[in-house]
């Protein structure tokens, strides 16, 4: 019985992923992740570097998921513009921006020396 409940919850999570990937920003992050992963294979990054890169990708996708959830909830609560709802949506978007900037910095730290050594 518990196993069925657990499997059902995975089904809901998979449905959430499908919903997330319908969003343009999430598709952009996924495309960026694929490019980063391919670059990692090409540059033969270390296991520690892989761990850091994968954690960054997971963090961005998780925060993007939370941002999308907050935006959809705000849209449901208030179809008309409300200043406080606008601030909430801006804050959620800022969270994605912050983790994305950090991920870019991490990517530069990991990839730039390897790319420069190729020249």
CA–CA separation, 106 and 34 (whole Å): 16
State yes or no: is 64 an active-site residue. yes
Pick the catalytic residue from 49, 64, 71, 80. 64
Contact (Cβ atoms closer than 8 angstroms) between residue 53 and residue 45: yes
Can you give the three-state secondary structure of 4-63, one letter per residue? HHHHHHHHHHHHHHHHHHCCHHHHHHHHHHHHHHHHHHHHCCCHHHHHHHHHHHHHHHHH
Active site members: 64
């Amino acid at each position: 019985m518990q196993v069925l409940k657990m499997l059902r919850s995975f089904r809901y999570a998979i449905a959430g992923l499908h919903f997330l990937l319908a969003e343009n920003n999430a598709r952009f992050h996924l495309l960026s992740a694929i490019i980063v992963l391919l670059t990692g294979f090409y540059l033969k990054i270390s296991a520690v570097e892989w761990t850091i890169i994968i954690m960054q990708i997971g963090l961005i996708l998780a925060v993007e998921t939370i941002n999308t959830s907050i935006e959809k909830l705000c849209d449901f609560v208030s179809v008309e513009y409300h200043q406080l709802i606008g601030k909430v949506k801006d804050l959620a978007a800022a969270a994605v921006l912050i983790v994305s900037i950090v991920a870019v910095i991490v990517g530069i730290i990991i990839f730039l020396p390897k790319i420069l050594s190729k020249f």
